[in-house]
Structures are given as C-alpha cells and as structure tokens.
C-alpha cells in the first residue's frame, strides 16, 4: 500500500477552510510541532476537529471515536496522552513538580477507567473491553518540508502480541486515515495514519502482562513508553506479520468500502493492510533532513 488511495480518502473530513487553518497555525502557540494538545490550544480548537470512528469493539460492537486533526502533520498530535505513545488511565498534569513526582513513582499501567475517559475531550470509548490504541504515521517517502521538526516512530504498523494472547479473548482492530498538507491553498491528502486498537475480555490482565515484560533498561530510561520500541519488537518478528494475525482471527479491520465502516475479519485475503512499506525505525526530520535513529 502506497499513498492514501481513493477508498481511504472518501472518509476524510475537513472542518476548517485552508485559509482559516493557515491563519490558526500561524499563531505562536501552534508553531511548535507536537504541542497541539487540549492544554495548549484550548477546547475550542479541539471541539471543532472532525470526529472519526477509530474502531469497533469485536466483543460488544461499541464504537470508539476520536477527534483527530487530519488537516496537517503539524496539527496531527501523534501522542494523545502527551508523550506516552499509547493511552493509559492517567490523565496527567503538565507542571514540573507533578512531572518529577511521576518520574520517581513506580510506573502504573492499566487500561483507561471511566473517569479518565470523561476528562478526555478528544476520545470516546464507550466500552469496558478497550485496552490500548497505537498510531503509526507513514510519510510514503515524502519529506514533510512544511514542518521545521517532526519525529516519528515506525512507519510500518506492527501488533503487540502481548495484547493478543490465545488464552484470553482478545482482538486488534485496524483502520487508516489520510493526513493532508496544504498545497496551493488546498488540503492535499498525502500521508497515512494507521491505527491499531486492542480489545480484550480482561483488559486489566493484558496490562498486567505488559507491565511484567516491561523491565530492565527500557523501564528505567523510558518509564512511560509502554508501546514497543523497535529494538524490543525485532525480537518477535511475527509482530510485523499483520496477515498472520488476520489469519488467526485476531486482527480485524473496518471495511473502508462502506460508508458506515463496519467491522470485518473475513476473508483474510481481503485484509487491506498486508503490504505496507516504509521505515521500520524511529526517525526525526529537522532542517530539511531525515535522520533515522540507530535503535
């Protein structure tokens, strides 16, 4: 799969005009990439973002919806729980004292509880089976020259097998959306966002398992990085093999061919994300150059 195709683009929503959006992002508080949090931009901007269906729960069919800025990479906020890369139950304050206190604490990991969901204006899960969601951005080889700085994890999506065990009913649901950039005063879809959402009949047990494998150096240096880093990931090559998980019945997807995006898991040959190409490491784009991290 290369650039976002027509089948994906039909689900794209624009809730700003390009002129409005450009004048918004020229304001100082929007100039630092990755700072488009509700905290820095205020509720008004978030309330205006399009609401997207991200997944449907395979256990109870609840819709998981999220406000996402697909108008640009600048607005796209890839770390919804600040820098955690994956949702957790704790909606944290940003002051330094609080930050330091957190760093000194034993990391607590668990799926989101009801109160955290209510506090989060950008996310609605409506289901007790939700475990976590991962985001992947794929630039399809295009340099994001509209950005002064951009950092990214793997462009190629992978699953976290720890969340998909055989002994507990558990699933992942995959979906994708295009992300635009503004060219000639138009939103042009050119990047892809891939989302993998995990569900389980025992979400707390899933997090307990993740916590028990998250030890050693990683836990020390990346106390909040609950999702896998590629160095950890490469030990289990089947994590990259999305088709394998589809054949096992563990990885489902939303049917892009239908307006209401129903859940689909069969036949596995119709899985639309089997051959995603891209960089399988984290990298940064700075001063016009892409630098791939050694890990």
Q: Which of 49, 55, 125, 127 binds Zn ion (CB under 5 A)?
A: 127
Quick one: 76 or 207, whose CB is closer to Zn ion?
Answer: 207
What x-and-dash track marks residues 32-71 binding Zn ion by CB under 5 A?
A: -------------------------x-xx-x---------
Quick one: 22 or 205, whose CB is closer to Zn ion?
Answer: 205
Q: State both tokens at 151.
A: 């950092």
CB of 56 to Zn ion, least distance (A): 9
Residue showing the smallest CB distance to Zn ion in the complex: 57
Contacts with Zn ion: how many residues (CB under 5 A)?
A: 6
> Which of 175, 135, 172, 137 minimizes the C-alpha distance to 261?
175
Quick one: 224 or 250, whose CB is closer to Zn ion?
Answer: 250
CB of 127 to Zn ion, least distance (A): 3
Quick one: 33 or 127, whose CB is closer to Zn ion?
Answer: 127
Q: Does 129 bind Zn ion (CB under 5 A)?
A: yes
End-to-end CA distance of the chain: 25
Which residues of this chain interact with Zn ion, rule CB under 5 A? 57, 59-60, 62, 127, 129
């Amino acid at each position: 799969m290369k650039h976002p195709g027509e089948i994906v683009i039909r689900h794209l929503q624009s809730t700003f005009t390009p002129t409005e959006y450009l004048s918004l992002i020229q304001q100082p508080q929007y100039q630092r990439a990755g700072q488009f949090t509700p905290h820095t931009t205020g509720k008004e901007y978030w309330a205006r973002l399009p609401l997207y269906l991200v997944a449907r729960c395979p256990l109870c069919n609840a819709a998981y919806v999220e406000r996402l800025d697909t108008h640009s990479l600048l607005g796209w906020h890839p770390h919804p729980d600040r820098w955690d890369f994956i949702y957790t139950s704790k909606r944290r304050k940003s002051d330094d004292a609080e930050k330091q206190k957190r760093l000194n604490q034993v990391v607590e990991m668990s799926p989101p509880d009801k109160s955290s969901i209510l506090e989060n204006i950008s996310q609605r899960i409506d289901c007790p089976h939700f475990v976590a969601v991962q985001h992947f951005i794929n630039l399809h080889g295009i340099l994001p020259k509209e950005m002064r700085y951009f950092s990214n994890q793997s462009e190629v999506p992978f699953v976290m097998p720890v969340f998909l065990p055989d002994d507990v009913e558990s699933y992942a649901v995959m979906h994708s959306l295009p992300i635009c950039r503004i060219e000639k005063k138009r939103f042009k879809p050119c990047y892809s966002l891939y989302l993998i959402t995990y569900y389980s009949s025992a979400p707390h047990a899933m997090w307990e398992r993740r916590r028990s494998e998250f030890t050693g150096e990683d836990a020390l240096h990346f106390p909040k990085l609950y999702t896998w880093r590629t160095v950890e990931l490469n030990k289990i090559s089947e994590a990259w093999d999305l088709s394998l998980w589809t054949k096992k019945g563990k990885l489902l997807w939303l049917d892009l061919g239908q307006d209401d995006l129903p859940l689909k898991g069969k036949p596995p040959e119709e899985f639309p994300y089997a051959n995603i190409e891209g960089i399988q490491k984290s990298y940064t784009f700075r001063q016009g150059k892409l630098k791939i991290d050694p890990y």
